[in-house]
Structure 1
Amino acid sequence: MNISFLTEPNRTSIAERYRLGDSDVNELFGKHPSQDDDWVERAANLDETISSRADLQQVTKALRAYQEKLPYYAESAKSLDKLDQANCLVVVGGQQAGLFGGALLIFYKALSVVQTAREAEKRLGRPVVPVFWIAGEDHDFDEANHVNIQTSEGGVRRIRIERPEGPRLAVSRTSLTMQHWETALQELAAQLPDTEFKPALLERLQSHVTDAPSLSLAFARLLADWFGSQGLVLLDADDSNLRTLEGPMFRELIVRNSELETALKAGESQVQSRGFELQAETATGGANLFLNHDRGRLLLHREGDRFIDRRGNVSFTLDQMLEHTDHCPDRLSTNALSRPLMQDFLLPVLAVVLGPSELAYWAILNPAFQEFGMSMPLLVPRQSFTYLEDNVTKLLDKFSLTAEEAMSDWENRKSEWLGKQDEWNLDLKFQLVKQQFIDLYEPIMATVSSLQSGLATLAEKNRDKILEQMAYLESRSVDAIAKQHEASVRQWDRIHQSLKPLDKPQERVYGTVHFWNRFGTEWLTRWMEVPYEITGGQRLVEGKTNG
């Protein structure tokens, strides 16, 4: 694989400035992965605070029970054995589940978690386990229920499972039927281009859903297939066995809820004082907790001495909330801002792999960690890639275009190329005729305007209509030129659809399953050959394939 760095389009974002080691931004986080001493310091801090976290052996027991639902890989089993060791640390990265593996960025995040754990283990000389935290407690089904592929015709097609009727439960608690899965698989089979790898791909996906699992569980099974051989351990945040162990931290989040809000507001002020906009502003009185209820996953707020939801479904006193933590902690769940604290309570988190948006909201969390007697783990920017297919490389060469130009300036480059195909100089001729017409028409406009004031407006409208018709003829002429070069225009569109589909980064649109279908499982495994970059960054990967 040939690999080169790409220019980050937003170099002033908080995530990019952090990635590049800007000292002003780094103060928000406390540590940076590029600093060797920070890794040692974080490990030492975790050793000193082991008694304040959940019992790691009990956590490991819960994770073992969950892995039994997934395809077995000896390397993942070895990772669980490591977790039983008192000196083991973890690298965590998480995401909402995605249908059939979801977007490429999820694959890249799991890859980053595995590579970061491997690098940290070498750096520290002690066991470090990669853990992927599936946000199964999230109730936004529409974020998880789809995957995009490129069809045989070159367009982007979304395969999705419609949310079942009923309340908006956590994704891991949303029951799906075999009919849901069969319909999704049938559509995927119909839309994926036929390749030598397609039958085995569909068969493997079918094997994951024979028991009509939730979206989260099917997703975990696929991630296990992709990264189990690399020792990745899967965790569902909505796992009832883990919830039982989280009760003490839920108690802290409830008892000190107003202090949590104050700390988050302090974090927001620190971010804003450096000239950054907030990723999402915290709501006044927000408890930063959810309650799993028959009517759905309800966001809780504090109103006086009670915890309520805005629609009036529930209202609990402090004591009633604390009873939940003792007797039914699985009724509670965290949100995006309290989840990092729970994560740090549950596991010895050496480092967390985060995408750009996640880094932006983690920027406000340092005061919250300190409020709860914790310190921020190392934050490792997720590695980001654009994959350049062989046939697209040939098209770029044909049009003397770089991949970066194709992604950042495709429309202008395409227009310039199309203009060069105009052997009649239509653009120049139309410009000349328009100007000549305007010059000839000016005296007429002046004359009729002097005859009657109302005729001035009529003359302007008449002129504009004639110019509009000229523009229409010009556009039809350009279309005629394009039609003469229709095959080449389609090739320009093929470049764009591959590198920046829907005008978005490739990794945010296409699913991993799209490339798996084109190039087989070898394409998946070869990513482990890509050199690890501890501070991430956008890279272009050009690989020779057999597809």
Structure 2
Amino acid sequence: MEVVTEPLQAGSALANDYIHHYEKVVPLYGEDYHQDITWIDRVQWLDNTEDRRVNRHALVDILKQYNEKHNSHAAVYTSLQLLEKPGTLVVTGGQQSGLFTGSLLVVYKAITIIQAAREATKRLNRPVVPVFWIAGEDHDWDEVNHTYIMTDEMQQPSKLALHKYTNSRSSVSYTPVSTEEWERSIRILSESLPDSDVKGSILTKIQRCIINTDNLSNAFANLLGDLFGEYGLVLLDSADPSLRKLEAPIFQAMIERNDELGRAYRSAADHIVSLGYNLQADVSDDGANLFYIHNGNRLLLMKQDGKFMDRKGLVTFTEEQLLDMLQVHPERFSNNVLTRPIMQDSLFPVLASVLGQGEIAYWAITRQAFEILNLKMPIILPRMSFTLLDGTQLKYMDKYGITFQDVQYRLAERREQWLSDQDTLNIDETFAEARSAFEKLYEPLINDLGKLEKGLLTLGQNNKGKIIDQISFLEHKSKEALEQKHAAALLQWDRIGTTLFPMGKPQERVYNIYQYLNHYGLSLIKDLMDTTVDYLEEHRVILI
């Protein structure tokens, strides 16, 4: 594989400055992750604060049970054995469950976590374990129930979606998916993937991983384990009820110090806005930043007049009542986007957290909240970013003299210019001259006829309009003929766009990994791992 770095348009100004102009955002994050001393200081802080996190042995027992079900690999077992030992650190990152793992960025995040843990192990001369945090407690089904495949027939992204049979706003991990629905989704995937030497093997793997699962999170875990278990990647589902008893003391602290946390989030949000950045997460003045599970629905709690309640008034608790409920039913409690980072660092000795750009931006809201709970924001490591480019598309790009940046910013403009260059008849100019000549000859005639009879002037003007319309119609047909003549070339232009920036988005945010495994073979993950050994924050184009 050949690799070149190419800038990718930033999705967040704050994240872009964090990565490329850290001096601008120091007050929001703290120490610079580029500096070795930052890593050393983080290790020392973690060593000195072991008692601020949950018991390692209890946590590893839960992780062993979960990974034995979904990610049973010798390398994972080794990672868990290491994690159980004092001094072992963690590089973590997470993502919502996605159909057939979702978009490529999920795979790239897993790769970054693994590679960063390996690099940290060498740099610090101590074990660092990779952990993938599955955000199964999230309830936005429409965000996770689909993925995209580019089919040979359509030459554009085709959406594959998974249906649910309940209207409840339950966590994804608690939203049931029937065997019939899994079978339907696999059948559609099979129809979408072009025939290849490995298609049968891929479908067999996927069927084995998901056909007996009852929800999207478990299927996601099985597939992720199949792809990365051999690299020792430990999986965790944030909705795992076994975790809640361990997490209860952290939820208790979040409830007891809820007002302080709310003020910290609000203060940080105001600071971010004052620096000219947009907020990437909602910060409500009355938000409790916790969810409560009620009758299968995940309700966001607010804080009003000293009481915790949801906006519809379905549940209302005093602080004492909420704490009592936590002791009896810890499984009913759930983090929101701003408290999840705190929970993560209360469970694990997190050396670094791998985040996408949107996550980097909203984590800036949490720094003060970490400190309120006697914690310290971990090192934030930007997820590595890639675009996969095969030889055929590169050949087309060379043929038409277009660059990656052309495709990213001005493909339509370059395509139109190329087509114009093929127009030997100068269609626009020729028809403009024809219209002008016609009007020059016809306008005096109309005026003269109007002197003969007033009604002829109106008739002549109407007639002129019809003739101009016919000239324009012929011009349009001429351009269609030009496009038809060069249809094969224009299809190549369009394929470049749908390959690199489908729907106007970076490839990694749209397409599914199994599309590429089907095309390039089952060794693709290993090839990507071998190619990305060195961590780079710059976007890379990988020529396969």
Confirm or deny a common fold (TM above 0.5).
yes
Please say if residues 33 and 534 of structure 1, whose CA atoms lie closer than 8 Å, have aligned partners that are also in contact. no
Q: Tell me the CA shift for residue 392 of structure 1.
A: 1.0
**Match of residue 95 from structure 1:** 95
**Match of residue 529 from structure 2:** 528
Q: Does 1:505 align with 2:506?
A: yes
**Match of residue 211 from structure 1:** 212
Please say if residues 115 and 534 of structure 2, whose CA atoms lie closer than 8 Å, have aligned partners that are also in contact. no
**Match of residue 39 from structure 2:** 39
Please say if residues 208 and 222 of structure 1, whose CA atoms lie closer than 8 Å, have aligned partners that are also in contact. yes
Q: Does 1:374 align with 2:348?
A: no
Which amino acid is 1:107 matched to? V
Q: Tell me the CA shift for residue 486 of structure 1.
A: 1.6
Structure 1 445/113 Cα, relative in aligned 2: closer, same or farther at 3 Å? Answer: farther
Q: Tell me the CA shift for residue 534 of structure 1.
A: 4.2
Query: Partners of 1:145 and 1:41 in 2: how far apart?
Result: 41
Output aligned runs, 1:100-499, within 5 Å.
100-153=100-153, 154-436=155-437, 469-499=470-500
Which amino acid is 1:310 matched to? R
Query: Partners of 2:385 and 2:402 in 1: how far apart?
Result: 22
Query: Partners of 2:13 and 2:120 in 1: how far apart?
Result: 27
Query: Partners of 2:66 and 2:12 in 1: how far apart?
Result: 41
Q: Tell me the CA shift for residue 474 of structure 1.
A: 2.2
- Relative to the length of structure 2, the TM-score reads 0.94
Q: Tell me the CA shift for residue 83 of structure 1.
A: 0.3
Query: Partners of 2:408 and 2:219 in 1: how far apart?
Result: 33
Query: Partners of 1:287 and 1:77 in 2: how far apart?
Result: 38
Q: Deviations over 1:378-420 (max 9, x none)?
A: 1111111111012111222222222332232111111111112
Query: Partners of 2:24 and 2:61 in 1: how far apart?
Result: 42
Structure 1 97/459 Cα, relative in aligned 2: closer, same or farther at 3 Å? Answer: farther
Which amino acid is 1:493 matched to? D
Please say if residues 34 and 535 of structure 1, whose CA atoms lie closer than 8 Å, have aligned partners that are also in contact. no
Partner of 1:16, secondary structure, is helix
Q: Tell me the CA shift for residue 77 of structure 1.
A: 0.9
Residue ranges of structure 2 left out of the alignment (5+ in a row): none
Which amino acid is 2:44 matched to? A
- Relative to the length of structure 1, the TM-score reads 0.93
Which amino acid is 1:334 matched to? N
Structure 1 433/246 Cα, relative in aligned 2: closer, same or farther at 3 Å? Answer: same
Please say if residues 248 and 325 of structure 1, whose CA atoms lie closer than 8 Å, have aligned partners that are also in contact. no
Q: Deviations over 1:164-204 (max 9, x none)?
A: 22412111111221111111111111121111111000001
Please say if residues 22 and 32 of structure 2, whose CA atoms lie closer than 8 Å, have aligned partners that are also in contact. no
Query: Partners of 1:458 and 1:116 in 2: how far apart?
Result: 78
Query: Partners of 2:274 and 2:71 in 1: how far apart?
Result: 48
Please say if residues 71 and 221 of structure 2, whose CA atoms lie closer than 8 Å, have aligned partners that are also in contact. no
Please say if residues 133 and 236 of structure 1, whose CA atoms lie closer than 8 Å, have aligned partners that are also in contact. yes
Q: Does 1:64 align with 2:64?
A: yes
**Match of residue 48 from structure 1:** 48
Q: Tell me the CA shift for residue 433 of structure 1.
A: 3.3
Q: Tell me the CA shift for residue 494 of structure 1.
A: 1.4
Structure 1 445/58 Cα, relative in aligned 2: closer, same or farther at 3 Å? Answer: farther
Which amino acid is 1:72 matched to? S
Taking only aligned residues, the RMSD between alpha carbons, in angstroms, comes to: 2.6
**Match of residue 75 from structure 2:** 75
Query: Partners of 1:467 and 1:401 in 2: how far apart?
Result: 37
Partner of 2:214, secondary structure, is coil
Q: Percent identity?
A: 40
Residue ranges of structure 1 left out of the alignment (5+ in a row): none
Structure 1 459/298 Cα, relative in aligned 2: closer, same or farther at 3 Å? Answer: farther
Please say if residues 101 and 511 of structure 1, whose CA atoms lie closer than 8 Å, have aligned partners that are also in contact. yes
Q: How many residues align?
A: 543
Please say if residues 324 and 332 of structure 1, whose CA atoms lie closer than 8 Å, have aligned partners that are also in contact. no
Which shows bigger deviation, 461-470 or 178-187? 461-470
Structure 1 428/122 Cα, relative in aligned 2: closer, same or farther at 3 Å? Answer: same
